[in-house]
Amino acid sequence: AAPRVVQPESVFLGSPPLSIEKREKKLGKNSLTYHPSCQRRAARLAFEIFGYLLYHTYLALFATTSLWIFDWLYGRFGEKNPGLFLFTMPIVQLLVSGVLCLLIVISKWCIMCGRFQAGHYPLFSFYVWRTELVERLEENLAEPLLLNMLDGTCWKVLFYRCMGAKIGRRPYLDHSVITEPDMITIGDDATIESGGTLQAHLFQDRMRLVKPLALGASVSVGANSVILLGGKLWDNVILNPLSLSMRDEELPPRTEWYGSPATRVW
């Protein structure tokens, strides 16, 4: 919500709006943030072209593999038994999508050379470029082609575990957003509703800050709520819909919170 009076270069957050201290740019005035060299810009361009080609290679593999299998199945029994052919189509689509998700998991471990790491990373660093590429593959391929159809199932949990997240038993993940999976810990019986976001990074002044965040057992994250990096929700915490748990904020056990930023209900 916008304040009635806004001073130049001021920063506000939340509803009602809270004034935030102006961020320093001391870390940003160097060749990896605001003043990259021509060589650094060229390297960024080359990496983005590589990421673009990799994305479309995976997409083309998915499409051509599906079409090849459909053509083979139709030649085997499609004309004689069209009902059976139609029945096999979604099964083939699911299997090919599963293989694609496995390929994305392998790509994550190869591109990141292992796990996401906590720290400060400038915009024109190789680490940030690789992070954005992994996120692009997940958001534009894995999620629309398979993960969004697996909301609430153990298969979606399995995918994030393979990506590096530490997830306990019997969780419920709806249409949620999880960034930097290696930085995420989710306890037993936790619930993350549609739009719930576990965001282990912030971009400020062209610096990407990455820190772990954790949810305890039986935590409930409401629809379209956000938990920022460094956050800790202890056991049996309820974060209501459209709420924001701030950076490095700890919510004590058996409490309920609501708002942006979140305030305690009881």
pLDDT recorded at residue 72: 94
Q: Which tokens in the block code for residue 79?
A: 């004309």
Helix (H) or strand (E) holding 197: strand 197-198
pLDDT at position 68 over 60:
yes
Least confident piece of the model among 10-24, 88-102, 125-139: 10-24
- Percent pLDDT > 90 in the chain is 80
Residue 15 — very low, low, confident or very high, per pLDDT cuts 50/70/90?
confident
- Count CB-CB contacts under 10 A for residue 34: 14
Strands 263-264 and 256-258: what pairing? antiparallel
- Count each helix (H run) and each strand (E run) in the chain, helices first: 5, 20
From 157, 175, 174, 153, select the one nearest 166 (Cα to Cα): 157
Give the tokens for residue 29.
Answer: 């005035």
Instruction: Quick: pLDDT tens for 196-211.
Output: 999 999 988 888 999 9
Q: Three-class SS of residue 229?
A: coil
- At 58, which helix (H) or strand (E)? helix 38-73
Radius of gyration for the chain, computed over Cα atoms and rounded to the nearest angstrom = 22
**pLDDT tens digits for range 150-180:** 999 999 999 999 999 999 999 999 999 999 9
> What local confidence, expressed as pLDDT, does residue 3 receive?
84
Are 165 and 181 contacting, i.e. CB atoms less than 8 angstroms apart? yes
Q: Does the pLDDT of residue 71 top 80, yes or no?
A: yes
Mean pLDDT of 145-150: 95
User: For all residues of the chain together, what is the average pLDDT?
Assistant: 93
For residue 27, pLDDT beyond 60: no
Going across the sheet that includes 166-167, the strands are: 166-167, 184-186, 213-215, 232-233, 250-251
Distance CA 171, CA 152 (A): 8
* Neighbouring C-beta atoms of residue 166, cutoff 10 Å: 15
Kindly state the helix (H) or strand (E) to which residue 1 belongs, with its residue range: none
Q: Looking at the predicted structure, is the pLDDT value of residue 20 above 90?
A: no
pLDDT value of residue 25: 57
- What pLDDT digit, counting tens, does each position of 74-120 carry? 998 888 899 999 999 999 999 999 999 999 999 999 999 999 999 99
Q: Where are the alpha helices (DSSP H) in 74-150?
A: 82-111, 126-137, 143-145
3-state secondary structure of 15: strand
Question: Does residue 10 or residue 90 have the better pLDDT?
Answer: 90
What's the whole-model pTM score?
0.90
d(CA 162, CA 178): 13
